[in-house]
A and B are shown apart, each in its own frame.
Chain A
């Protein structure tokens, strides 16, 4: 009789541990990273983006994910020979990873863009810069969101 209950106890304790684990680390359990990676792959194609040159600024702690000020700065001389063609912003945790894309020209002078975005949850946000020579550079920022966007009903 006793022996029959042991496997169930063990199973319940495993389940309990998993539940505690998922509370402690919700990102790893509900990761939507493949979506974001797919969105990035669509932008860069077969070229591997390099780290650096792109600086993404978002507040580390966001109270309301509905309106988050986001700034992207790309290091570039912005001359006719060497300039930033496009900047794409990708959020790992949003239902649709693409947030916005900006298309620049040498006449932009600088590659600084500021806008306001929605963030669905605590996540990592990526910025991908497409240079005129065809190379891609990436940068990211982590943020903690207390009130999520897009979940409320109207």
Chain B
């Protein structure tokens, strides 16, 4: 039983060759820590996004591993070098079969 949610990427659509571009990735997710209790005293099981991967034309350029210490609706801002025109693919993986994929096009001049 795979589940997913809204994820969004903000990055420039055009860039000069070999310039550094900033990428902002955000996912809609509660990031349940697994340390909280309900009023009945039952432990709420952990449910978080574990991995975020960025592939630039199929080559992995950035990866992040999240722990329960990451806030709800995880946001991550990182940079990469615009080497060539093509597709950036962003993959999110988490507990309970969570999966989400985003794609963005970039034109490098």
Contact = CB atoms under 8 A, between A and B. Distances in A.
A102 B53 CA distance: 10
Interface string A49-79: 0000000000000000011100000000000
A100 B66 contact: yes
B65 A100 contact: yes
Contact of B44 (A101, A105, A154): A154
In order of increasing CB-CB distance, the 8 nearest A-B pairs are: A99-B69, A109-B20, A114-B77, A116-B71, A103-B63, A109-B81, A98-B67, A101-B65
Given A95-B35, A103-B63, A150-B35, A108 B69 contact: no
A100 B69 CA distance: 7
Given A66-B72, A108-B81, A117-B69, 9 more contacts: A67-B72, A98-B67, A102-B76, A107-B80, A108-B80, A109-B81, A112-B79, A116-B75, A153-B37
B94 interface: no
B64 A101 contact: yes
Interface in A11-68: 66-68
B69 A104 contact: no
Interface residues of B, number: 34
Contacts of B44: 154
B56 interface: yes
Contacts of B73: 116
Interface of B: 20-21, 33, 35-39, 44, 56, 59-81, 83
B76 to A, nearest CB: 5
Contacts of A98: 67, 69
A150 B62 contact: no
Contacts of B33: 95, 118, 150
A117 B70 contact: yes
Contacts of B37: 153-154
A100 B31 CA distance: 13
